[in-house]
Amino acid sequence: MNDDRYRGWVRPGPVPPGGVAVEEGESLDYLCGHFRIFQYERGHRYSTDDVLTAWYGTQWAPRVDRAADLGSGIGSVAMIAAWRLPGAHFCTVEAQEMSLRLARKSVAWNGLQNRFRLYLGDLRDPSILESEEPFDLVTGSPPYFPEGTATPAVHGQAVPARIEVRGSVHDYAAAAARILRAGGVFAFVFPTLQRDRALDALSAHGLVLLRSREVVFKEGEPSLISLFAASRAEDLPPSFTRPSPGKPWVEPPLIIRDRAGRVHPEYATVRLGFGFPPGDVAAGEAE
């Protein structure tokens, strides 16, 4: 695909400085607009889950000067959010050095050094962001499965992205509640079948679900993942917390592809909203 055009569509946004080399075993792929991301060819690679987490958080956070991404991996969620929020500053927390190394390369390639602070550490450590001011938006893509309940990935770097080896959705919710600014939003993705676990995690840490949306990857099939947006109960008026805090606004499902396998019209506009061509996925881009 031409770097700037795809079937008459022009790639939006400024062109980053680039200038960072691709090493053996890595690829450099489009992320959003002209932003690109370094990934291991056989390791964890960003997915629709990451893209939609960034989209949902930037869609519903009322105002974002400062944002944080928990368990940030290779930095995909934070950098997509940064592309959509050009005035915001970001902090990321990641426990794997090999993932953080790739995130640092991507931050440099995209010219984001002045807007990003990348922390190596465990999001369960309450001291990890204690020197930082609170955040207007906190995002996260928690691992989906407790240890022993799913087959681990072959590449060691990808294991924590899927298996709860360093905390669960409860730990993400605890960290978000600790670092959110008053009125801030915690946006995350989690399996639809485990919705109760997500709601329990929010409730246990003083967070109230404001809205959620199921994602259907092919029309007519069951939803596999859902998007959630929550705020701290103490920052909300009583009407949000009494008498039915368990009844947030549930949006209609977001359908990725229709029954014929074509990109759904709404998802086409979502793709435009994070700087991707609206049609089928082009070479070098993830879905």
pLDDT in tens, 56-102: 999 999 999 999 999 999 999 999 999 999 999 999 999 999 999 99
User: Mean of the per-residue pLDDT values for the chain?
Assistant: 89
**pTM for the complete prediction?**
0.90
pLDDT in tens, 201-234: 999 999 999 999 999 999 999 999 999 999 999 9
Contact (Cβ atoms closer than 8 angstroms) between residue 258 and residue 216: no
pLDDT given at position 1: 43
Domain assignments of the chain as residue spans, ordered by start:
5-273
pLDDT given at position 248: 80
Does residue 159 register a pLDDT over 80? no
| Domain 5-273 grouped into CATH 3.40.50.150 | yes
Does residue 152 register a pLDDT over 80? no
Q: Which of 45-54, 119-128, 234-243, 248-257 has the lowest mean pLDDT?
A: 234-243
pLDDT given at position 285: 43
Long-range contacts of 108-112 (CB under 8 A, 24+ apart): 108/19, 108/20, 109/16, 109/17, 109/18, 109/19, 109/20, 109/28, 109/36, 109/38, 110/16, 110/35, 110/36, 110/79, 110/82, 111/16, 111/17, 112/79, 112/82
* Token pair recorded at residue 273: 């909203």
Mean pLDDT of 237-248: 67
Mean pLDDT of 163-173: 85
Report which secondary-structure segment, H or E, holds 240: helix 238-241
pLDDT in tens, 14-61: 999 999 999 999 999 999 999 999 999 988 899 999 999 999 999 999
Q: Which of 29-43, 110-124, 183-197, 234-248 has the lowest mean pLDDT?
A: 234-248
pLDDT given at position 284: 37
Does residue 181 register a pLDDT over 90? yes
b/e map 153-184, b = 16+ CB within 10 Å: beeebbbbbebbeebbbbbbbbbbbbbbbeeb
